[in-house]
Amino acid sequence: MSTLTIVNLVIFTALLSFLYQLSKKELGLSKLVLAGLVIGTLFGTYLQIVFGPEHEVSRQTIEWTNIVANSFVNLLRMIIIPLILVTMIAAVLKVDEIKSLGKIGGSVVAILVFTTMIAALVGVFMASVTGLDATEFNLGEREAARAEVLVARQDSVADLSIPELLTSMVSTNIFRDLSQDRSISIIAVVIFGLLFGIAALLVAQDDKTHGERIRGFIDTTQAAVMRLVKIVMSLTPYGVLALMTRVMSTSDITAIVTLISFVVASYIAILIMFAIHSLMIGLLGANIRTYFQKVWPVLTFAFVTRSSAATIPLTIRAQIEELKVPAPIANISASFGATIGQNGCAGIYPAMLAVMIAPSVGVEVDLGFIAYLVLVIAIGSFGIAGVGGGATNAALVVLPLMGLPVTVAALLITIEPLIDMARTALNVNGAITTGMITSRFLGDKSKADSPAVANQPVQEN
């Protein structure tokens, strides 16, 4: 390890210590997360400017700072399955009628797909008004090699059928899915949790003694799991600092400058979709400013980790404790929202790519093309859950079905991390928005969501 690397690590340790001192001043989690974001951005920018992403000192520094970043992400991933399973069972035990679960699941899926279709239209609009054209982008050697890989993957991804995907959501080995062995393990665990909860509810109805024991055990286990979530949540500012350091220090600035038009257009499209989410939330009678204050730590974590799945524990907690969304709805919307109908990855991105590529192969972008594209994206948003990989896999599903080549996606991979951060935050916000809409749609109104209370100041933990 070089002397400069040691100096950088001393600085990084000092920054973590500074953040810890701030936490003693009871600033609130949102402000601490913001502080971690700013400090990590500055430190990462320092590494980028002074050393560059390929320099040995920079690589060694990030290798050590990743201990904090990766450990925090691993902690969240560790508690995803226990949290989903236990809280789902507990949520079902609190539902008076089993048929209500069907309404919740149906409403969540319908809203997720609907908002994804809106996101696709936003992507089409932004690509059209900014005049993005794939013919302006040239594939270098690195991108050409990546294009060959994507073409090789294209068939396996595009050949997925919706019936096969839906069938695979039902687990044949729950222990395999509890270990997250499959890309759709989360949905499989959700379904198992629902079924186990229903069975427990029926047993409780038949035998009051068993019912009391079951509820007592589940309530105690849930309390322990939620306390674990709070412990991990308290580490969020430090994780964000380390994650943002990695993002800023390893970004390919040259690629970003070359494709700046696509980067800007993507961010504008994402902001428009955030505005649409805000409009939906506002129509529920909730205060938009208060809402974003409450979900800020969740969106920030999604932004820096680029993982909707890793954000699930935070998403569930924010809905239940901050937004007062009923537990069954919060669990289903967070779990499904991480795998189905992702507004950013499965909506905006493939739509923008399709509109960009179509003219280069002589396809006219008319109303018929747009209507078919939106339909394909709506269906394909289910397929993304089955293959994993986010936005790139969304492109591999949508573009072949539209008769378009996938090679341009290879070029954009160089700037994927920068855009994917905002897309992931949008995905998570879509899941939270879906939970709030479903709660109001099914009549589960809470005092915290009412206009009177929504305008009150937020009490941060």
Q: What pLDDT score does 34 carry? A: 85
Helix, strand or coil for residue 340?
A: coil
Euclidean distance between CA atoms 413 and 415, whole angstroms: 5
Average pLDDT value for residue range 338-356 = 86
Q: What are phi and psi of 139, to 5 degrees?
A: -85, 125
Please name the residue ranges forming H helices in 94-207. 99-129, 141-158, 162-168, 174-178, 185-206
- Which residue is it, tokens 């390929």? 54
Q: What pLDDT score does 153 carry? A: 47
DSSP string, 68-103: HHHHHHHHHHHHHHHHHHHHHHHHHHT-S-THHHHH
Average pLDDT value for residue range 291-312 = 86
CA 79 to chain centre: 16
Q: What pLDDT score does 452 carry? A: 34
- Render pLDDT for 162-200 as a digit per residue (tens, 0 to 9): 576 667 778 888 998 888 777 677 778 888 888 898 888
Q: Tell me whether residue 52 is in a domain.
A: yes
Domain holding 21: CATH number?
1.10.3860.10
Amino acid letter for position 447: K
Q: Tell me whether residue 386 is in a domain.
A: yes
Residue range(s) defining the domain that contains residue 7? 3-454
Query: Residues of the chain with pLDDT > 90: what percent?
Result: 21
Euclidean distance between CA atoms 258 and 119, whole angstroms: 25
Q: Which residue has the higher pLDDT, 394 or 71?
A: 71
Q: Tell me whether residue 460 is in a domain.
A: no
Residues in the chain: 461
Contact 218, 35 (CB under 8 A): no
Q: Tell me whether residue 389 is in a domain.
A: yes
Indicate if the pLDDT at residue 208 is higher than 50. yes
3-state secondary structure 201-234: HHHHHHCHHHHHHHHHHHHHHHHHHHHHHHHHHC
Of the pLDDT bands very low, low, confident and very high (cuts 50, 70, 90), residue 257 is low
Q: Which residue has the higher pLDDT, 413 or 10?
A: 10
Of the pLDDT bands very low, low, confident and very high (cuts 50, 70, 90), residue 80 is confident
- pTM (global) more than 0.75: no
Q: What pLDDT score does 447 carry? A: 38
Domain count along the chain: 1
Contact 338, 305 (CB under 8 A): no
Q: Tell me whether residue 461 is in a domain.
A: no
Q: Tell me whether residue 459 is in a domain.
A: no
- Render pLDDT for 407-424 as a digit per residue (tens, 0 to 9): 666 666 667 777 888 888
Q: What are phi and psi of 251, to 5 degrees?
A: -65, 145
Indicate if the pLDDT at residue 335 is higher than 90. no
Q: How many helices (H) and strands (E) does the chain have?
A: 21, 0
Euclidean distance between CA atoms 172 and 244, whole angstroms: 39
Query: Residues of the chain with pLDDT > 70: what percent?
Result: 82
Give the helix, strand, coil percentages of the chain, each rounded to 5. 80, 0, 20
CA 263 to chain centre: 19
- Give, as one character, the DSSP assignment of residue 461: -
Q: Tell me whether residue 413 is in a domain.
A: yes
Farthest-apart Cα atoms in the chain, separation = 71
